[in-house]
Structure 1
Amino acid sequence: MRSVTVVNSELRSVGGKGSGVAREAELAALEAVERRVLWLSTAIIDHANRVRPNPSGLKVGGHQASSASMTSIMTALWFHALTSEDRVSVKPHASPVLHAINYLLGELDESYLTTLRAFGGLQSYPSRSKDPDPVDYSTGSVGIGATAPLWGAIARRYAEGHFGGAGTGRQYSLLGDAELDEGAIWEAIQDPMVPGLGEVVWVVDLNRQSLDRVVPGIAAERLRGMFTAAGWQVINLKYGQLLQELFARPGGEALRARIDAMGNPEYQRLLRCSADELRERLPGTGSTAGPIADLIAPLDDASLLAAVRNLGGHDIRALMDAYDAVDDTRPTVIFAYTVKGCGLPTEGHPQNHSSLLTGDQMKALADRLGTDLDRPWAAFGDGSPEAALCAAAADRLRRPGHASRRPPEVPADLARPAPTGTGNTQQALGRVLLDLTRRAPEAAERIVTVSPDVSSSTNLGGWLNKVGVWSPTERPNWFADDAETILHWRERPTGQHVELGIAETNLVGLLGELGTTWSRWGQPLLPIGVVYDPFVNRALEPWSFGIYAGGQSILVGTPSGVTLAPEGGAHQSITTPSLGIEQPGCVTYEPAFAIDTEWCLLAALGNLGRPDGSSAYLRLSTRPVDQSAAAVPTDPAARERRRRHAVAGAYRLRQHEHPVVTLAAMGALVPEALAAADRLAALGHGADVVCVTSPDLLFRALQARRGLSKDPTWILDQVFPAERTTPLVTVLDGHPHTLSFLGTIRNTPVTTLGVTRFGQSGAIEDVYRYHGIDSDGIVAAALDHVE
């Protein structure tokens, strides 16, 4: 590592990679490549908007200015600092820069450069699953892509420590300074796991602009203090070589103090000034105006214009020094001061975020950068220093292939007798995990559970005691000899449970990255995250984005619904039952009985860590339910038939000889449906009862029957056979729209019962009655159909 000293947040370096003539030759080649990256990223956006036919006339979009502020940062990183084991998350609006670099490295065919935001072409923002060139992290949802490398670092360490093959390497995040406004950033930085992640490096593109304006005030010092307080190494890359040389001259300290004290809008206005205007505005007023005016007076116009925009984030030499100075014993953040739109006619303009260059401006830019507007994708000439630099970087960054390891087989049924007595689905979660350690140890060793400080209250205590808590190093358990301690908190590298702080966004961020290890390093994991169901919606967007990025995991929401009667409205989820219907790449299960929970969880585990796999969401409950009501067949063939139905979405729990109505219930409301069926029978009205375990899978089957997908449809005929078609009453502890589509299976009348209002505290009977989902409500709805 280079020898460095950080004094007053300014980087001062001694030594470095290479020296003398070789260093200068590398620097010259890097600067030439940087100019080509600037051209290519600008031209990719220009072609999508100005050249490619656009019959609809709708704006295609792209961010030339946001890309331009990143070209130096990314050129120095890819062509100087990166190794094949490193991973980089690129800020969303700089995706054209990533594609330009991949093109120069030979990782992207030229034909794709004309396809930005076209169907089947380069995506709007970097995408692991949809872009044709290498992308380490999907970004686009502000704050989530930036934090992903934190969780990627933990996932890599976990996979390497347990199974090997994940190697080492740094985890970089390239993010804009406006992205630091996102709460997800600070939730992640403050998690107790993060300060030990020395492989993490964030580079903040500090261009001081957001979408609409120049950000007022000077926040950089405050931001540096916040990272320092969190235990990070902070490198401040503010000024480039030209300004540093000016600062060393008489009057230089005054100029430095003037710029340091200058507000963001005033500085940005200087970037729009001519040389004559700069000579008038830059000195300012007061006692230092004279020395500053004397300092800049001898400079020619070109030198003065270049100096005022010579920030550290555009100085290749300074960037090389910063990357070489990273301390791998703790996370690092580099604040790289930049100009939004640097090198473009729009640089520094407050509204340049989505502005596009005109044809004349593109022609002038091509002439200045030494390219040809008519041949925009021309490569460097063979034998040139730039071509050699690109070839050397491509060789250095080429990653070895990983053998595709299929996850171990997960049994479909643990073959235990069906539970009897009273129990709940949340308890079944912990029991199944423990059973797997005995009955399927190869599958169990791939399971990793994650929780935001709710392990014991979501019934993971037994599992945690069995497998231990994961930590990069072993830590003492100071309560090991306390006889009253039930939860044994043994932290060690072999543990299989990861405990985070109370932040659901962090939980699902880690869950998504643990779910990508199969595709990154060929080591499939079976990650399960547990969170209180009322807070699932808080975590839904980052979890959804993780699924989009290829992460496969299981999210368990428990306990759930207004069944949490004494907890009151704040802890009663309403919208979560329909997640699977609305979330691509995910299957939702809401079992009613412990045996259903076992089967659905095993099915979900069996779909993880594979190219054709998917994520799953399980909504569980703490309501005590008589398990004998499941009426699980004892005959092996009949039991297997029930299991297949349960994991396919539903099964017929009760059949009347002459049904006049069908009650379709889900989760905790199945006992109310059974009680309602008994009451209807006493009134002379036969009722079938269907136990729905996955509205998601039933909806897919319905779509497939219409030819809109290739999912199996057999479950519809098995559970809702034509010969038993009757009016429907659906009921669940959640929004009634979740099951409203069931009436379209046979085009039958349907009444949907559920929760449409915030809940109330009280006894479960009172709360169910308040929402009209008790047995009285079900009976009344059924009678509306049959009488």
Structure 2
Amino acid sequence: MTAMITSPLDNAALLRVEDRVLWLATAIVHHANRVRPNHSGVKVGGHQTSSASMTSIMTSLWFTHLEAEDLVSVKPHAAPVLHAINYLLGYLDAGYLTELRAYGGLQSYPSRRKDPDRVDFSTGSVGIGATAAVWSSLSNRYIGDHFPVSTGRRHIALLGDAELDEGACWEAVADPLVGRLGNVLWVVDLNRQSLDRVIPDIEADRRIAMFRGAGWHVQVLKYGTLLQEIFRLPGGQDLRRRLDAMANEEYQRLLRLPPEQLRERLPGGGPGAPAIAGLVRGLDDETLHAAVRNLGGHDMRALTSAYRGADLVPDRPSVVFAYTVKGRRLPGQGHPQNHSALITTAQYEQLARELGADPGDPWRRFPENSPEAALCEATGRRLTRAETPETLPPQAPAEVSNGHRGLRTTQQTLGRLLLDLGRSAPDVARRVVTVSPDVASSTNLGGWINKVGVWSTGDRRNWFSDDPDAVLRWDEKPSGRHIPLGIAEVNLVGLLGELGATWSRYGETLLPIGTIYDPFVARALEPWSFAIYGGGQFILVGTPSGVTLAPEGGAHQSITTPSIGLEQPGCVTWEPAFSQDLEWILLHALNRIGRRGGESAYLRLSTRPVDQSSALVPGTPEAREARRKAVLSGGYLLRALPGAEGRAVTLVGVGAVMPEVIAAAEDLSGRGIAADVVCLTSPDLVYRAWRAARGLSDDGDPRVLDELFPRGAVRPIVAVIDGHPHTLDWLGAVRGAPISTLGVDDFGQSGDVRDLYRHFGIDSNSIVSAALNLVQC
């Protein structure tokens, strides 16, 4: 039997476009590694085989199914395929095809903010791109319930099967809200390989069952048209059972065999072996060779049908498992170590001959008036999007409260400020959306939730509405403005990133605020970074923080988060000590969201009640405004206590430890040592100012340094923070002053605040001792 049993697609132009996409993706990587001069000698890299397994999936999706407003997250290692398609559609200039991974050129992985062509989602960290499409869908549903924004678009993620090892995927799949998102589609490039190996056994069956268990609509494209026709021949069902039961490793080995060895190994040793042997004897070498590689993920008709099938299930998300061959049509196809393999120049020239390309003119477009050129032009027109209008959200006022008195925690203040915002600036408040991973009430969002309700895709009955002991009114409705998630911090930050990108996607700004237990910020660090990298602007609130949460013990006490925040690009980190400072900071942070050049914020808050009178907020309007500006610059001189001439020290405090710093200053003043008390609201901003003063950065205002550490009187510094001390160690370098930094550098334990402060040396006595040591030196 010959290859005549195949059933090619009617649209031959589409198949030739697929060939050109494969060629361009391969050539983009080849040029970067084999042609462009490499002055550093460091391997440029790229992923020709990972791209090759995706060409059918992406060509069929773009050229037969997508509409202009659909959003697609592309697996990181298929970036060259995306750029190849964008080039054919007219969205990318040819000059960029030679600049993969070059400075100012195409990024190594799809980047929404850095690539020159159309990229819907920044990917690169495996798993994060897949979940981004989920949170994009949810954000689109939410904003459509609150503003005149279309919710008809589809949110699609293309991911490799090895990405399903990532916990981020399963945290998203399992969340109850996700099960209602009918415009989500995941397409899994099931090539049975990860970076280092063939994925053992038959892992896909377990993954498929997990999706079905979570309520997703599942479609499996395992075999292509050729194999399905062979299955109808005598012995065909035996062959199918043999392939279905075959472990991944054995199948991948078959891909590497010449026809004579394939005939020997394919039948196996089971009861169907004689029938399979008879079947393969009737196939010529070319057909047999093609049949083993004929998988559903390379069948254009099956792929297009699967995409349409997902659209027919509008009440839940869909996933398509598309079996593919990693490196399909490249020399290293199916090899377990082909992940980063690069084809040679000779292989590159041979591939050009097979695909009808010209290695001397690799970027040549299809001839004018050809069916392929017409298909590209029509697709480009169909997918052209209107520019997103730039609209600025209403400005939050400078203040919204009637003042802050008595004992109050910054965590309590957050909840009260949200309610005050609703009364003082309703146009701003209606754009605020809060999110938390099952810690809404314990992070003091209860009052806000009672006021605005919980967002849901439909009205849900509150069965506890008539319970007199129910303090939290959990009213779920499409107009609600709090989004609850399960206990998954990765989901929280992924959703915040997409909620914080609506201004650039839809022209309507949301002001997202997410609350998280501060020690778990580290758990969310990777998606937090990617959310900001991808253009999300939002406020993350870590609360409660530090060993100040004394009774909860070391498991809930954060140590490294202050320095994590200081090091996070695209985000300003704040740790206010007083409620008035928090009010000014929160309103300022809201005004930095939803605009070009905007930025995210991280607020580290506390459950420690602090006497608000110790903030010494000025009474006159001019002095009050000066204090507000100082707070927003990163810090201010809280008080200056007198002492004997020549004996002086500067005490710097951050956040909840300010009462100890103030008490230490009073003690030192009584000993004849002058003590300036500096309250840092943002070590992050002061650090930027210091770098700017040294000419190392233009991202900072050095004027704050003169206010906090005057040039004329260089004093020893004792800096105190409820976090790792290295967060503030650099302060001594601002003026070349001696410094002792007090903080927490070991795991905490349960106890009273005073006991733990004493244990870690951040109590007032420890501050005084450190100051005396510096002054006496």
Whether TM-score is above 0.5 comes out as yes
Distance 2:345 2:9 in 1: 35
Deviation at 1:396, TM superposition (A): 1.1
Distance 2:362 2:151 in 1: 38
Deviation at 1:298, TM superposition (A): 2.4
User: Residue deviations 1:688-710, cap 9 Å, x none?
Assistant: 10000000000111111122333
Alignment-mate amino acid for residue 104 of structure 1: L
The equivalent residue for 2:503 is 518
Distance 1:56 1:454 in 2: 49
Alignment-mate amino acid for residue 397 of structure 2: P
Distance 2:773 2:256 in 1: 73
Distance 1:285 1:384 in 2: 51
The equivalent residue for 2:24 is 40
Name which of 724, 738, 758 aligns with 1:749.
738
- Quick check: 416-425 or 117-126, which moved more? 416-425
Alignment-mate amino acid for residue 103 of structure 1: Y
Q: Percent identity?
A: 63
The equivalent residue for 1:10 is none
Alignment-mate amino acid for residue 723 of structure 2: G
The equivalent residue for 1:679 is 667
Q: For residues 315-464 of structure 1, what are the structure 2 equivalents within 5 Å?
A: 315-326=299-310, 327-414=313-400, 416-464=401-449
Alignment-mate amino acid for residue 81 of structure 1: H
CA contact (8 A) 1:578 1:695 kept: no
User: Residue deviations 1:211-258, cap 9 Å, x none?
Assistant: 111111001111111100100011010000000000001110011111
Distance 1:672 1:689 in 2: 11
Alignment-mate amino acid for residue 498 of structure 1: I
Correspondence 1:64 to 2:48 = yes
- Quick check: 45-54 or 382-391, which moved more? 382-391
The equivalent residue for 2:213 is 229
User: Residue deviations 1:179-217, cap 9 Å, x none?
Assistant: 111111111110010110010101111110111111110
Alignment-mate amino acid for residue 770 of structure 1: H
Alignment-mate amino acid for residue 724 of structure 2: H
User: Residue deviations 1:459-510, cap 9 Å, x none?
Assistant: 1111111111111111112222222211111111111110001110000010
Q: For residues 165-180 of structure 1, what are the structure 2 equivalents within 5 Å?
A: 165-180=149-164
Alignment-mate amino acid for residue 448 of structure 1: V
CA contact (8 A) 1:232 1:330 kept: yes
Deviation at 1:38, TM superposition (A): 0.4
Distance 1:149 1:463 in 2: 28
Distance 1:719 1:56 in 2: 44
The equivalent residue for 2:728 is 739
Deviation at 1:417, TM superposition (A): 4.4
> What TM-score does the superposition give when structure 1 sets the normalisation length?
0.96
The equivalent residue for 1:156 is 140
CA contact (8 A) 1:418 1:632 kept: no
The equivalent residue for 1:669 is 657
CA contact (8 A) 1:110 1:377 kept: yes
User: Residue deviations 1:527-564, cap 9 Å, x none?
Assistant: 00000101111011101110000000100000010001
CA contact (8 A) 1:474 1:492 kept: yes
Structure 2: unaligned runs, 5 residues or longer: 1-6
- Quick check: 503-512 or 704-713, which moved more? 704-713
Alignment-mate amino acid for residue 784 of structure 1: N
Distance 1:401 1:354 in 2: 37
Name which of 738, 755, 762 aligns with 1:766.
755
Name which of 174, 193, 198 aligns with 2:177.
193
Three-state SS of the structure 2 residue aligned to 1:652 is strand
Three-state SS of the structure 2 residue aligned to 1:675 is helix
User: Residue deviations 1:157-179, cap 9 Å, x none?
Assistant: 11122112244211111111111
User: Residue deviations 1:603-644, cap 9 Å, x none?
Assistant: 111100001100000000000111100010111110110111
Distance 1:310 1:661 in 2: 77
CA contact (8 A) 1:449 1:498 kept: yes
Deviation at 1:580, TM superposition (A): 3.2
Deviation at 1:581, TM superposition (A): 2.1
Distance 1:301 1:24 in 2: 22
Correspondence 1:691 to 2:676 = no
Distance 1:339 1:462, change over 3 A: same
The equivalent residue for 2:689 is 701
The equivalent residue for 1:18 is none
The equivalent residue for 2:518 is 533
Correspondence 1:303 to 2:313 = no
User: Residue deviations 1:633-674, cap 9 Å, x none?
Assistant: 111110110111011100111113456000000001000000
The equivalent residue for 1:644 is 629
Structure 1: unaligned runs, 5 residues or longer: 1-20
The equivalent residue for 1:293 is 277
Three-state SS of the structure 1 residue aligned to 2:27 is helix
Alignment-mate amino acid for residue 121 of structure 2: Y
CA contact (8 A) 1:85 1:167 kept: no
Deviation at 1:449, TM superposition (A): 0.4
The equivalent residue for 1:597 is 582
CA contact (8 A) 1:558 1:620 kept: yes
User: Residue deviations 1:547-601, cap 9 Å, x none?
Assistant: 0000001000000100011111111100111233211000000000110111111
Distance 1:195 1:202 in 2: 13
Deviation at 1:24, TM superposition (A): 4.8
Three-state SS of the structure 2 residue aligned to 1:451 is strand
Deviation at 1:286, TM superposition (A): 3.7
Name which of 528, 531, 544 aligns with 1:546.
531
User: Residue deviations 1:316-344, cap 9 Å, x none?
Assistant: 11111111211222111101000000010
Deviation at 1:679, TM superposition (A): 0.8
Distance 2:36 2:131 in 1: 35
Alignment-mate amino acid for residue 206 of structure 1: L
